[in-house]
Structure 1
Amino acid sequence: MSDGGMRYDATHIKVLEGGEAVRKRPGMYVGSTGQRGLHHLVLDVVGRAVSEVLAGRARSVDVTLTADGGVRVADDGAGDGEAHTPDLERELTSFYTGPGPSGRRTAIVTHFGVGLLVANALSSRLTAEVRGAGTRWVKEYARGVEADPPVTVGSETGSGTTLSFWPDAEIFETTWCSFSVVAERFRQLAFLNQGLAISLTDERPAAGVRRVVFQFPDGVRDFVAALSAEAETGVALEPDVFGFEREDARMAGTMEVALLWRGSGKARIRGFANSRATREGGSHVYGLRDGVVAAVTAFARERGLPAASDSDARADRIVEGLTAVVSVKLDHPEFLGSTRELLGNTEVRVCVAEAVQERLGEWFAEQPERAPELVDRIVGGDEEC
């Protein structure tokens, strides 16, 4: 470039920080400015409340789609009034990574998971409320900036945190949340987290308020039963859903597995890591398949079943018709691939495979009358052996 031409140096660089950066490039933080990004925004706030339940500080989460276009997310955690507010304020105004639920106690509800700062910055208005120790602390924000000084009110009962926010119409193409889309994700979260009660109330319909509550005491066993009931082909070969839970220090986490065979159809194996769907699979899904094939093969050979000699070559046949869910919760999950929907923790595969082989083998042994027929049908199907 000639001396008379335009020069570009450090003085031309503008560094955007915090909420300003989020509002400038919202798609980087929620994926899009369409309805998908709007749902992402809502789920990020819900994820914080669910993590409070997983950490043992709350029991339930209540979400309301308000008549004026807002979203209210409340938990019944053990808030401590003003003493609890500094961390919440930092979460709302910075990319905060301080004390709070972490590791296996964190529900990764969205792919980005960037925290409350994004919800605050992309909302025209947000109100944060903390109840506890007989007080209620309230603070208002407008597009991520403090609008009014915090207010503390005494003589309050109960405890918990409530975040109410109104997605900004200047940012999003629509501020209308889909009840069905959000409800399905909440249902999934309730399946994956035993003990979690999560409700969704919609105050917008002209016909009247509608409300659903999700809570599944048997966790992923209930998930597999629901997936099986929704299947369009085949019937269950065994009425009982097999399932177990186990902690394994080698993978620094826990696993929850459930499965059921149907008479026909492709395998439906769904994997999750820290409550996040891993649609491309990964080490936990490979481990589940390895363990199932090993347990079925070993039982077939032990009992001298007709198809036993050929079972090694029938790994695909063994998992055909299988409906299964494997959910792991790890202190340090590693997501791979361009979409980060593939779990990469190598140690998880071995841990899950060993646990599935052991527990499924025990389950077969406990059913001496039904197990041989079930395994013979799994391995041999309707073919001549």
Structure 2
Amino acid sequence: MAQDYSARHLQVLEGLEAVRKRPGMYVGSTDSRGLMHCLWEIIDNAVDEALGGHADRIEVTLLPDGSVEVDDNGRGIPVDREPRTGLSGVEVVFTKLHAGGKFGGGSYAASGGLHGVGASVVNALSGRLDVSVTRSGKVHSMSFRRGEPGAFEDGKGRSPESPFTAYEKSSELRVTGKAKRGATGTTVRYWADPQIFLKSAAFSYEELVARARQTAFLVPGLTILIKDQRSEEHSEESFNYDGGITEFVEFLAPDTAVTDTWRLQGSGTFTETVPVLDPTGQMVSKEMERTCDVDIAVRWGQGYETTTTSFVNVIATPKGGTHVAGFEASLLKVFKKQLEVNSRRLKVGNDKVDKDDILAGLTAVVTVRLAEPQFEGQTKEVLGTSAVRSIVSKVVESELTTRLTSTKRGDKAQASLLLEKVVSEMKSRISARLHKETQRRKNALESSSLPAKLADCRSNDTEKTELFLVEGDSALGTAKLARTSDYQALLPLRGKILNVQKASVSDMLHNAECAAIIQVVGAGSGRSFDVDMARYGKVIIMTDADVDGAHIRTLLLTLFFRYMRPLVEAGRVYAAMPPLHRIEVSASGRSPKEFIYTYTEAEMRKTVAQLNKRGRHIKQPIQRYKGLGEMDADQLAETTMDPRHRTLRRVTLADAARAEEVFDLLMGSDVAPRKDFIVDSAHALDRERIDA
């Protein structure tokens, strides 16, 4: 067998053959994700020009024929001959792997392109690629078919299927037009090769817009124009942000602010040994001094979710790397020190702060810029340059300590609120952990640490059990008689609970009603909430069918959305629908006496009209329920609690970001938008709907 395997069985793939043979190695996959990655490679080359201050406009157009065009007003790819290959700069960039201006030659101080394979990989995986370069008053053009340079004979229009003639002896960079004096730039248009990419692969306009917005935040002053001309209804969006990553954080932040957006900026130097080309073209090792610029924007909000986005030279690193590790390590170090200094005032005790306590409610954009960073793979999802960790850590420690110890009135107040929030998160995590360790369902023979006012059920089967949150003790008495005690539990609420959208975590935990609900549900709160630990399969909010009942229901939903969101996402939170009216229909002939319940004014009027039409006598006045306490137990069971007859409204969460905006508008600290809403909507108010 060994003799059958010889050197002739070995294959040597040269040039762009390797890319076409193993495309996943370079672009990740051959589906839509890989297709978008090719586009990012071309866009990032244009962004690198903007990053160096040579361009301020990039235009990306998705065209009806399946191609995409990227145009920038940068310096333009060099068009003169590269001395070692004898080829034009354009052909070198698009046909030679590991060739370009980003290998330490001084063309780019910091760039997203590092390996010199981006443009050539896209060319190799394209059925056709056309590039036009504007330099020195001329427009230079060149075309490629699956990476091979040549000329297309375009008749009615440009297409990958046009007749193609490959260059045999020498390539030609054609001059195809004149340009205005001083005008420079590069335009790349390409058609992805259907031999490589799946038929289902398609450019995502939404992803493109998100990436363009993100890049515009990271490069202040850069205008990015996105056009989608694939359908009759053309879409077009333009992005330009002068505020940089400060605006980016404000755009990403999902909750009400505890602090302003703080910028943590600085730089550091390090040395590394890298191979470079000497004047004779030989590769030699040389020790280089690098500068790493750090620019971080942070902002803490009242929520508990963390949004951290990181970038290296405008390239997103979704899986983090050494820069994020340095940022998080320094955060923990700084807050540990500040909590020690202020331990008596904050009543920290012997508790130890955790990284997650600090990250709760944090929105951060971490950016670093350095020459020739080391990434893990061509997709550049993880930064590997080890020296960056200590540089980022030092900058964050210095800048954040200055903020937290500032004597300015505004900074001092915000620092105090932030430290209190971290301590609240820490105590919440510790109490939730202790609660989880000790929590288990108690049967009738065991003692229970649950609230005394809870009327628990007997069943241990979480799938079947239901917890009713009942408005008031009067409704509790009726509900106790109406419930099925095997699987229905009752927890009465005294009036309106705390508005947790405006309150801090500490205030929420100290509120008796909120604490009782969290304790009874038994799955923790905030970051520590574990939906699998919930003691009940359904949580049903049962309030009166009036304005106050609606307000209480809104306050309860705010609590569940803010601190027990997985329960809502799992579809386990419901709102009961008690009836508004009870229509008593007298017996008539063979028709017996009956009671009909209706749930809206319109339904009641329609029912009455139908009964009158049939000649049935309705006892007057029709009973209008003002609250659950007015119902008899059998009425409450039949209409609201018995699964065979009741109607429940499931609370769903289709769009978390939109829900966040609505809750912040209706329940947040900013009162002005609510006042405007009331004033603007006053003309549409039906006075009959007010219970007075």
> Under a length normalisation based on structure 1, what TM-score does the superposition of the two structures give?
0.86
Q: How does 1:193-272 map to 2 (within 5 A)?
A: 193-207=219-233, 209-228=234-253, 231=254, 234-238=255-259, 240-250=260-270, 252-272=291-311
Paired amino acid for 1:15 = V
For 2:197, which of 139, 160, 172 is the aligned residue?
172
> Which position in structure 2 is the counterpart of 1:360?
400
Query: What CA distance in whole angstroms lies between the structure 1 residues aligned with 2:17 and 2:421?
Result: 61
Q: How does 1:43-82 map to 2 (within 5 A)?
A: 43-79=40-76, 82=79
Q: Which runs of 5+ in 2 are unaligned?
A: 82-86, 152-171, 271-289, 426-505, 511-692
Paired amino acid for 2:418 = L
1:208-263 Cα distance to aligned partner (Å, 9 max, x none): x21112222222222211111xx3xx52212x211133221137311111111122
1:59-105 Cα distance to aligned partner (Å, 9 max, x none): 22111111221111111013387438922210111114343476762
Equivalent residues of 1:269, 1:323 under 8 A apart: yes
Question: Cα distance 1:311–1:376, how it changes in 2: closer, same or farther (>3 A)?
Answer: farther
Query: What CA distance in whole angstroms lies between the structure 2 residues aligned with 1:120 and 1:305?
Result: 63
Paired amino acid for 1:243 = R
- 2:110 paired with 1:105: yes
Paired amino acid for 1:7 = D
Q: Which runs of 5+ in 1 are unaligned?
A: none
> Which position in structure 1 is the counterpart of 2:35?
38
Question: Cα distance 1:357–1:226, how it changes in 2: closer, same or farther (>3 A)?
Answer: same
Equivalent residues of 2:110, 2:372 under 8 A apart: no
Equivalent residues of 1:293, 1:318 under 8 A apart: yes
1:275-317 Cα distance to aligned partner (Å, 9 max, x none): 3333333322222223333434444454553245557534432
- 2:378 paired with 1:373: no
> Which position in structure 1 is the counterpart of 2:374?
334
Structure 1 residue matching 2:127: 3-state secondary structure: strand
Structure 1 residue matching 2:92: 3-state secondary structure: helix
Question: Cα distance 1:80–1:218, how it changes in 2: closer, same or farther (>3 A)?
Answer: same
Question: Cα distance 1:30–1:377, how it changes in 2: closer, same or farther (>3 A)?
Answer: closer
**Count of aligned pairs:** 373
> Which position in structure 2 is the counterpart of 1:349?
389
Question: Cα distance 1:339–1:123, how it changes in 2: closer, same or farther (>3 A)?
Answer: closer
Query: What CA distance in whole angstroms lies between the structure 1 residues aligned with 2:93 and 2:379?
Result: 25
Query: What CA distance in whole angstroms lies between the structure 2 residues aligned with 1:89 and 1:178?
Result: 29
Structure 1 residue matching 2:421: 3-state secondary structure: helix
CA RMSD of aligned residues (A): 2.9
1:147-195 Cα distance to aligned partner (Å, 9 max, x none): 2243214531221011111111222113531111222222222223333
Equivalent residues of 2:98, 2:116 under 8 A apart: no
Paired amino acid for 2:28 = G
Structure 1 residue matching 2:190: 3-state secondary structure: strand
> Which position in structure 1 is the counterpart of 2:474?
none
- Report deviation, 1:33: 1.7
Structure 2 residue matching 1:335: 3-state secondary structure: coil
Q: Answer with 336-345 or 282-291: which moved more.
A: 336-345
Q: Answer with 271-280 or 307-316: which moved more.
A: 307-316
- Report deviation, 1:136: 0.7
The structure that has the greater radius of gyration is: 2
Structure 1 residue matching 2:353: 3-state secondary structure: helix
Structure 2 residue matching 1:252: 3-state secondary structure: strand
RCO (CA 8 Å, sep 6+): is it higher in 1 or 2?
A: 1
Structure 2 residue matching 1:247: 3-state secondary structure: strand
Query: What CA distance in whole angstroms lies between the structure 1 residues aligned with 2:327 and 2:419?
Result: 17
> Which position in structure 1 is the counterpart of 2:173?
150
Paired amino acid for 1:330 = L
> Which position in structure 2 is the counterpart of 1:287?
326
- Report deviation, 1:134: 1.2
1:5-26 Cα distance to aligned partner (Å, 9 max, x none): x833223333221222222332
For 1:95, which of 97, 105, 110 is the aligned residue?
97
Equivalent residues of 1:104, 1:253 under 8 A apart: no
Equivalent residues of 1:252, 1:331 under 8 A apart: yes
